[in-house]
Structure 1
């Protein structure tokens, strides 16, 4: 973590003491934000929201989503290998690669705890390709090609687009907070989702990774909501569930045959029926 990221993290954690509320400028056009405005003091608002969170009456006014295995998932692994140029490799090598691809990042986390690779595009690439080569016996050229073709394999989870539309309709702000070192905005734009987002908070841009409490505070500020008004939606109890440490509610999504299931989000947000 660089000096500027460290200073921001310290400021966020200091501000999340009694007597402070995080905020950033409103975003009426719901376009993604890269920066967060200075924090402001508001004792009464902080006390009110904290009390409502403790007795369970604080409504959800902002939803923060994880990205991978929450909003998107990898499609056909065989198609990914073919897309990466591995259609002509030996059958035994293909099987080894296919066995490692689904949990490459979990293997990286076990090998190098701390998710440091999510802070640097170069380290992100290196961690992925190293795992494929060491654990899957993948050639360096194929490992690099598979990394480069990764965004092409992402498929939008079922129901994301209508869910975003309903959240926007009901005035609930939407953000993404992801441990990743790839800019996901172009893909979101292709899907027509970028304009519905109030913030996109990516670990490699802000110098923090989940489960650090500071990145959740930063994300709440970026969508102009108090943490007690936010719901964090993700796939990892340890990583995304850590949002509870700053007073957010969290929802860990189940995985079905068609990818992550987000059907529990709308009821938790009190959305009106379609």
Structure 2
């Protein structure tokens, strides 16, 4: 039996297509409040932040966070303040600088370009309380994305299958010809409940590194 061709790829946003550079994010935030950061602290703080978000992704309070930008702002500051060594002032500075510190992984641009040139439709499905489109625009990647499906705009949060239903409708895609790519087994892997196969990639903390998108291109039968 021949597998159906992949016509659409859905990507998660944070820690899938983009990530914060630990040194740039934490060091710049600390500098903005005249705070020094000890060696290794930037990576620890960024790592603790990522772990906290992943651990609480399906908590009711954090689902609410992903549906309302006002709740998002308060909730993210609260998460940051749970990290050892991060007080209220540093938490606020980290929150205020988080968008500017987000960068694409080393193979994000080439992957999106290859999929786009190969006729594959691209969607971004993210649990988020702010408009991530500006990150794509800042790096000239917005033109590759055919649809942004953001939880706070559509009213559904992964792993609710309705968020993927919304994505399929926006992209005029069939679930059996769609691939979901993410980093969170419970959240992104929930696409299978909507009939969409999922590729869950291991965590990569630095955007300077490649994300492993050769697997995506191979599944989409796009030359890498």
Range class of TM-score, shorter chain: 0.7 to 0.9
**What CA distance in whole angstroms lies between the structure 2 residues aligned with 1:105 and 1:86?**
24
The TM-score with structure 2 as length reference comes to 0.86
**What CA distance in whole angstroms lies between the structure 2 residues aligned with 1:90 and 1:157?**
25
Q: What SS does the corresponding residue of 2:214 show, helix, strand or coil?
A: coil
TM-aligned CA deviation for residue 177 of structure 1: 0.4
Q: Which residue of 1 aligns with 2:187?
A: 239
Q: Which residue of 2 aligns with 1:117?
A: 65
Residue 80, structure 1, aligned to residue 31, structure 2 = no
**What CA distance in whole angstroms lies between the structure 2 residues aligned with 1:233 and 1:182?**
21
Distance 1:237 1:163, change over 3 A: same
Q: Which residue of 2 aligns with 1:15?
A: none
Query: Pick from 12, 15, 39: which aligns with 1:69?
Result: 15
Query: Is contact 2:65–2:71 with CA below 8 Å preserved after alignment?
Result: yes
Aligned residues: 217
Query: Pick from 93, 101, 110: which aligns with 2:49?
Result: 101
Q: Which residue of 1 aligns with 2:211?
A: 260
Q: Deviations over 1:61-88 (max 9, x none)?
A: 0000000010011212x43222113552
**What CA distance in whole angstroms lies between the structure 2 residues aligned with 1:66 and 1:262?**
13
Deviates more, 1:109-118 or 1:195-204: 109-118
**What CA distance in whole angstroms lies between the structure 1 residues aligned with 2:120 and 2:47?**
40
- Mark the runs of 5 or more structure 2 residues left unpaired by the alignment: none
Q: Which residue of 2 aligns with 1:198?
A: 146
- Mark the runs of 5 or more structure 1 residues left unpaired by the alignment: 1-54
TM-aligned CA deviation for residue 241 of structure 1: 1.0
TM-aligned CA deviation for residue 102 of structure 1: 3.6
Query: Pick from 130, 135, 143: which aligns with 2:78?
Result: 130
